[in-house]
Structure 1
């Protein structure tokens, strides 16, 4: 029985709302539904039922709640007991994306200042390569943005914080003069993304297709910097993470456009090998990230 599934059920039960549970746990609604579905399969009972847009606990779900709380409390108690004397020291190898590295520069500096016995090495790399390095034990932790946690039983993903995707364009773009931009304003506009995964997300795909926007489904640039370069030329728009440290931002060649449609975001996850005993330094680093980045 997975502790994440139990935490999901408890979070859902608080308001009987997947959306509110999603906000508190930083998992997508589809991931939460999968957690509860897996728990139901293991217990051979229905814990949550849905009628129309409303979801609610079944009688079996309500009956199971006290057991779920006891198991989570016991897990937390045991975890704390095993970690009470562990020291935050040693070497830590971390792989991340360029975007996350920019956003978390103060986290790295502050964490190592407050924990001088930790030697932190941060490398930039692709998510696929980083996951293989994790399994090869050549890195200790991945901190990466994605729309959902990895579908791997070998890798555990812990949500750290939400990364909003901003509508980004050139200050010379026709939409830059508008005080508010809605989906219908995107009709005929061209969009470019770093990965196909972006346009496979329903929230992005549906907004752009309904607006009649031109999605570059055959062209992707595996670099946020390259995409921002095309945006700076005024050739395209994109929904992307924003960083004040980006060179195009500093030059003023790209700006945030005032998007008023539905919020679009990714989640930044800390990922580690499931069957590895976590170093105290890694656990401390993850908690530090949550605190500073505002989970």
Structure 2
């Protein structure tokens, strides 16, 4: 009996399918079957009862399950204790969307590196549409992005970091900049430059305007580039407030006040759901969550 076999059995108790377990743990189906067979041989009982394609735990399997939970929990605690005795170390790969990396993460990442000098950290700016695929392939350990609501998934764990308002804006010379407040009617026939089609900002815009007449001639991955275009062209956009706050104060961009637009986006840190998470990843999530909590309490 080994830890991998126990993890396989625990995963089977959730998935009830050799194929699903193989996909989740990145094993061959034959490896999953071998793990279950070796456990059954070890205990001298059948642990799984198969009825067609669907499988269920036998009475013996149900009895064993809480003990496996306990063993794996103690194993994780043992690993953590040994790792923490050596100090937090190892590699961690983080992917973030541009706006969070530029306007929120810089100082926090520097603090983390200073506190844990034995950690090798790599940070990349990525398209959030690829985050789940990158996590599943374990090309990255943590993905940080915005969403309109809490994400609930059987495959990913989510740590909520902070909320930030979304701002509708134009340049200071735009005709709408002269208005104290605007309505949906004012946005008819306006042109918008937005991030990806499935971004939270684009979803929010379509939710607010519903079937009203508006046009999105261009989608751009970069919020920095969107700001530059809005600054020089007769177009509108939606971005998190932190991205345009300085430009508004300098009167380069103008925040449009709209009663219907009272929304925030939530910053999440996503990780692949695992029975055991490496200490460096756990500590990073704990660290950034604490730093954002402190930042937003002082605002």
Range class of TM-score, shorter chain? 0.5 to 0.7
Mapping 1:1-20, distance limit 5 Å:
none
**How many residue pairs align between the two structures?**
220
Query: Do the aligned partners of residues 119 and 264 (structure 1) sit closer, same or farther apart at CA in structure 2, a change above 3 Å counting?
Result: same
Query: Do the aligned partners of residues 257 and 106 (structure 1) sit closer, same or farther apart at CA in structure 2, a change above 3 Å counting?
Result: farther
Q: TM-score, normalised by structure 2?
A: 0.60
Quick check: 1:170 aligned with 2:157? no
The C-alpha deviation readout for 1:4-44, integer Å capped at 9, x for no partner, is xxxxxxxxxxxxxxxxxxxxxxxxxxxxxxxxxxxxxxxxx
Quick check: 1:193 aligned with 2:194? yes
Structure 1 runs (4+) deviating above 6 angstroms are: 245-251
Q: What are the ranges of 5 or more consecutive residues in structure 1 without an aligned counterpart? A: 1-74
Query: Do the aligned partners of residues 136 and 250 (structure 1) sit closer, same or farther apart at CA in structure 2, a change above 3 Å counting?
Result: farther
- Taking the aligned partners of 2:210 and 2:130, their CA distance within structure 1 comes to 32
- Deviation, 1:244, is 5.2
The C-alpha deviation readout for 1:241-274, integer Å capped at 9, x for no partner, is 2345899779864343344444222221111111
- Deviation, 1:181, is 4.1
Local SS of the residue matching 1:165:
strand
Local SS of the residue matching 2:265:
strand
The C-alpha deviation readout for 1:70-105, integer Å capped at 9, x for no partner, is xxxxx9xx79x9356652322211111111101211
Q: TM-score, normalised by structure 1?
A: 0.60
- Taking the aligned partners of 1:247 and 1:200, their CA distance within structure 2 comes to 23
Which residue matches 1:28? none
Compare CA radii of gyration and give the structure with the larger one: 2
Quick check: 1:221 aligned with 2:217? no
Local SS of the residue matching 1:128:
helix
Aligned-residue RMSD, C-alpha: 3.8
- Taking the aligned partners of 1:214 and 1:253, their CA distance within structure 2 comes to 24
The C-alpha deviation readout for 1:113-166, integer Å capped at 9, x for no partner, is 222232222111112334323222222111122234667533222222123211
